[in-house]
């Protein structure tokens, strides 16, 4: 969450990018929070997943994605990918002349709020458990973001590299996802996590399984926080506070989807993500 003050035409779309499909959970939230705004989404499906790659490679890929969206005239950039947000928000905000928002700061804020609510009810603050990709966990971005908000909350984190492939394959219910999720959630609950943060925009598709497994392991319901909604609220706030120019009055927000691999299977999965009629999907090359 940083970047220069608002520039660009009001009617320009907000650019949203992710390594693949996951960022569509942020698109869904944005369409709810700022329905007038047009959105231009880029999924780097030819290079997904980012979460197992080094920070250097993720920064390189993030630069090429954001260059593409800027060249297409977006008025702001939402990084709908935790891995990129963890290692590249500052770099992109410094290099680009438009507002740049990542998902980690809003997600951490929502997690802190949930932990404080649980603590108020239970009489003791729970730890915040983060599920994320290898890249996100190694970056330490969530513990840093939480520490900026509260000195009393402890964060435990678990890398969960198989969850993105499960979601990208559409395998989000049944015994295998359940067992894989258990393997990752178990150490978090064992370490005392009383709130779970979905530290990857793919994971909301697994939220029902994650919530069920966490409740079974902990013996009580565990709130599951998804940063997508918090990120969308932050964009709405930017518009309210004039950090970002709103779409012209009466505008109907459009949605356009770009991908770097062939769009057929993406379009199919995108519909299940967005829970609505189709948006056009086009394939592009990134340099």
Residues that bind a second copy (CB under 8 A): 45-47, 52-54, 56-57, 161-162, 165-166, 168-169, 171, 175-176, 179-180, 183, 260-262
Question: In whole angstroms, how close is the CB of 179 to a second copy at the nearest point?
Answer: 5
Comparison of 37 and 168: residue with beta carbon closer to a second copy: 168
Question: In whole angstroms, how close is the CB of 176 to a second copy at the nearest point?
Answer: 5
Comparison of 70 and 162: residue with beta carbon closer to a second copy: 162
Question: In whole angstroms, how close is the CB of 180 to a second copy at the nearest point?
Answer: 6
Q: Are 181 and 172 in contact (CB under 8 A)?
A: no
Which residues are annotated as catalytic?
81, 200
Comparison of 175 and 241: residue with beta carbon closer to a second copy: 175
Question: In whole angstroms, how close is the CB of 154 to a second copy at the nearest point?
Answer: 27
Comparison of 129 and 263: residue with beta carbon closer to a second copy: 263
């Amino acid at each position: 969450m940083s970047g220069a003050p608002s520039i660009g035409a009001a009617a320009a779309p907000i650019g949203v990018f992710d390594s693949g499909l996951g960022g569509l959970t942020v698109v869904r939230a944005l369409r709810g929070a700022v329905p007038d705004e047009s959105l231009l989404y880029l999924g780097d499906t030819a290079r997904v997943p980012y979460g197992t790659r080094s920070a250097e490679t993720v920064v390189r890929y993030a630069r090429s994605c954001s260059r593409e969206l800027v060249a297409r005239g977006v008025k702001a950039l939402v990084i709908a990918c935790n891995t990129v947000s963890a290692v590249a928000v500052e770099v992109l905000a410094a290099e680009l002349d438009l507002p740049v928002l990542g998902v980690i700061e809003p997600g951490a804020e929502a997690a802190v709020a949930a932990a404080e609510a649980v603590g108020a009810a239970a009489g003791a603050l729970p730890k915040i458990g983060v599920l994320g990709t290898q890249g996100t966990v190694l970056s330490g971005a969530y513990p840093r973001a939480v520490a900026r908000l509260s000195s009393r909350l402890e964060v435990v984190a678990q890398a969960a590299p198989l969850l993105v492939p499960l979601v990208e394959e559409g395998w989000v219910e049944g015994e295998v996802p359940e067992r894989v999720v258990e393997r990752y959630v178990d150490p978090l609950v064992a370490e005392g996590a009383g709130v779970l943060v979905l530290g990857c925009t793919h994971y909301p598709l697994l939220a029902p399984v994650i919530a069920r497994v966490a409740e079974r392991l902990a013996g009580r319901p565990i709130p599951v926080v998804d940063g997508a909604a918090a990120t969308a609220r932050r964009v709405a706030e930017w518009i309210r506070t004039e950090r970002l120019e709103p779409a012209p009055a009466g505008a109907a927000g459009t949605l356009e989807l770009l991908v770097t691999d062939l769009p057929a299977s993406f379009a199919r999965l995108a519909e299940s993500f967005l829970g609505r009629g189709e948006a056009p999907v086009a394939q592009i090359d990134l340099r």
